[in-house]
Amino acid sequence: MFEAIERVPGDAILGLIQAFKDDPNPDKVDLGVGVYRDEDGSTPIMRAVKAAEQRLVDTEATKAYIGSHGDPDYGRHVLETLLGTDSAVLADNRASATQSPGGTGALRLAADFIAAQLPGKSIWLSDPTWPNHKGVFGAAGLDMQSYPYVDADNRLDFDGMLAALKQIPQGDVVLLHACCHNPTGFDLSAEQWQQVLSVVQERELLPLVDFAYQGFGDGLEADAYGVRLLAEHLDEMLITQSCSKNFGIYRERTGCFIAIAKDAEDMADVRSQLAITARENYSNPPAHGSAIVATIFESEELTAMWREELDEMRSRINNLRSDFVKALAPHGLDQRFAHVADQRGMFSFTGLQPEHVEALRDRHSIYMVKSGRANVAGLNRANLDYVCNAIADVVK
C-alpha cells in the first residue's frame, strides 16, 4: 500500500538545521533557526528554570495526568501575565486557559475550535506570517485569506493592512501578532492597535492573537498592550501563548490557548468544548514545562530572577540590532538596513532577496530563511563584522 505514497519536500527551516550541521566551514553562522542564542552561540537554560527544576526534583510527588485543560496554577499565572492581575475580564470569569503542547499546539486547538464551533468562517493572516500558520490552519480545513503587512519597500504597510481589515466579511477571524511579528519584526504602535480595535469592532471580527514572544519586544507589560486593549473592549477573542522563548523551555512544549467570552455562562460553554477538543488532539498536555513556569511564578525570588534574565535577553537582542546597523555603516549600507534597529523580537525581515540569501550561504556559509528573515539572536561580537562584510559582498 505504501508504494503510492509520494515524497514531499521537508520543512525549509528544519532543512537549514541539517545544512548548517553539514557545513565544514569553521566561520559558518546560523541566522535561520528560531531559538534564542547567547553571546557564545548557545541556547542556555535560564537560571530561574534550573532552580525551579531542582525544586521539582525535590518535591514532585506524582507523574499522574494533569487533565485536558492542564495545570490550573499554570493557567492562572499565564492569564495574569497576559491580561494583568487587575483585569476585569479575569474578575468576571470571562477567560479560560487550556494548556497546550507549545504555542503550535495552542494554534491547533484554536484552529479545531474555529472549524467545529464557527463553521464557514475564514481566517485572515498577515502577508507574510509565520509559515506554519498556514500549515496548522490548513490541516484543520479552515479557509485562509490574507491581508497586507509589509510593502514593496520592506516597511510596515499599516495603511494597506487597515484598508484590508475593513473589507473582511463580518464575523470572520483575523490573526494578529501581539508583538515581535514573525517573520518581519515590525510591530504595531499603541495608536495603530487602537485603530485595529475600531475596525474589529465595526466589522464584528473575531481576533485570534498569537502571543509567542511576550517580554522579547519592549517588556512584559508593554508587549501585552494590544492584547489587553482588545480584551478590555471586546466581548470575545482568542489568544495563543507560548513559553518557549521567554522561559527558554523550547523542548518542554509549554503553551496555552485562551478564550474570552462575553460572560461567565458563555465561558463555561466554551470551556466544555475546549476540553473535548484537547482530548481529541492529545488527551493531556505534558506537565514538566508548566510545572517549571508555575514554580517560578509562585516564588518571588525565582520570579525576580526570571524577569532579570528576560530583560538581559531582550536588551542583548535590541543592542545587536543597533550594532548590526552601525557595522554596515563603513560599507555605506546603514541607511538601507536602518529598519532592522526599529524592529522588535528575534526576527528581522532584512530586505535581502533570495539571490542574496543563496549567495550568503554558498559563498560565506551564512544561513537564513530564503525570504531574508534572519534571527538576530544568532549574531554576536565574534561574527558581526564577518556577517556584515558578507552582506556587503553579496548586495553590492
Could you identify the residue written with the cell 481589515? 165
Residues facing residue 29 across a β-bridge: 366
* Cα 248 from Cα 139, distance rounded (Å): 28
Burial class (CB within 10 angstroms; exposed 0-12, middle 13-18, buried 19+) of 277: buried
* Cα 159 from Cα 141, distance rounded (Å): 30
Catalytic residue among 187, 210, 223, 306: 210
Closest listed residue to residue 394, CA positions, set 365, 370, 358, 369: 358
Catalytic residue among 124, 193, 223, 245: 245
Closest listed residue to residue 186, CA positions, set 208, 221, 156, 165: 156
Where would I find the beta strands (DSSP E) of 50-192? Answer: 95-101, 123-127, 144-148, 173-177
Closest listed residue to residue 115, CA positions, set 280, 285, 242, 286: 280
Catalytic (active site) residue 210 = yes
Give the 3-state secondary structure of residue 60: coil
DSSP state of 217: S
Which amino acid makes up residue 348? S
| Residue 170 neighbours by CB distance under 10 Å | 8
* Cα 23 from Cα 40, distance rounded (Å): 19
Q: Are the CB atoms for 182 and 130 separated by under 8 Å?
A: yes
Tell me the pairing of strands 144-148 and 123-127. parallel
Which amino acid makes up residue 201? Q
What is the per-residue DSSP string for 5-54? PPP-PPPHHHHHHHHHHH---TT-EE--S-S---TTS--PPPHHHHHHHH
DSSP state of 156: B
* Cα 129 from Cα 146, distance rounded (Å): 9
Catalytic residue among 130, 157, 187, 223: 130
Catalytic (active site) residue 245 = yes
Catalytic (active site) residue 218 = no
Annotated catalytic residues are 130, 210, 245
